[in-house]
Amino acid sequence: MIPAFLEPASTMRSSTCSFLLALTLLGTSAATWAADPPKAAKKTPLLTKEQLSACLATQKSVQEHADATLKEQAALKDDKAEITRRETALKDQKDEVVRQQAALKGQKDEVEARNAALKDEQAALKKNDKDAVNAFNAKVQENETAVGNFNAKRVDLQKLADDFNAKVAERDKLVDAYNTRSNAYNASIDALQTERDGFAQKCGDRRYFEEDETAIKKGK
């Protein structure tokens, strides 16, 4: 979870303020700053000016880390959406490759059947029968046209299959990059949790003098 840190409360009767820590879930907007009512019955040790300066610096650092983590989370969401989009397109293209493969197989079977029939017809052809020879040659020409059409479709199918395989490789690279980035993001979340716990232990609900905070922000 990414923490959002509440701004030090307004001046209390004792002229001190307290650090208050709150948590928000990932996916919320940038951390908001608000004041919680002080618990009058609870007295926490006052922070020295040096301790307060360190706490303010830590607070800023953790908040910047939280903001960066939220930004990275959004980027990962976009990366995942792009991978999903590509996978959908690849599925459609794969279906088209399979469909064309089936159609081409049927066309190949027809060409082979015609070749076999022409071979048998040629063996029985009477060379002195001009009409029969002309009819046979017409069938041969028709078959050559079919073979040419088959070869052209086979080339087109190979191009489609090559394009599909190239896009699969691109998708795989995106997935690898996403997984690497996701692992780094998860490590960042763990580090942020550690930073948040450290801030809560050293600075959480600690009182301090408001004039010290004012002086620190003015660089004094």
Of how many residues is the chain composed? 220
Residue 139 and residue 113: Cα distance in Å, rounded? 13
Structural domain boundaries enclosing 44: 2-83+147-217
In a domain, 168, yes or no: yes
In a domain, 126, yes or no: no
In a domain, 116, yes or no: no
Q: What is the pLDDT of residue 13?
A: 24
In a domain, 91, yes or no: no
In a domain, 180, yes or no: yes
In a domain, 90, yes or no: no
Q: Which residues contact 91 (CB under 8 A, 6 or more apart)?
A: none
Residue 70 and residue 175: Cα distance in Å, rounded? 21
Cα dihedral angle (165, 168, 170, 174), rounded to 10 degrees? -170
In a domain, 140, yes or no: no
Residue 61 and residue 55: Cα distance in Å, rounded? 10
Q: How confident is the model at residue 20 (pLDDT cuts 50, 70, 90)?
A: very low
**pTM of the predicted model, to two decimals?**
0.66
pLDDT tens profile 98-126: 999 999 999 999 989 998 999 998 888 88
Task: Tell me how many domains the chain contains.
Answer: 1
If you average pLDDT over residues 69-81, what whole number do you get? 95
Three-class SS state of 203: coil
User: Which of the residue ranges 58-62, 71-75, 128-132, 176-180 would you say has the lowest mean pLDDT?
Assistant: 128-132
> Position 26: which residue type?
L
In a domain, 192, yes or no: yes
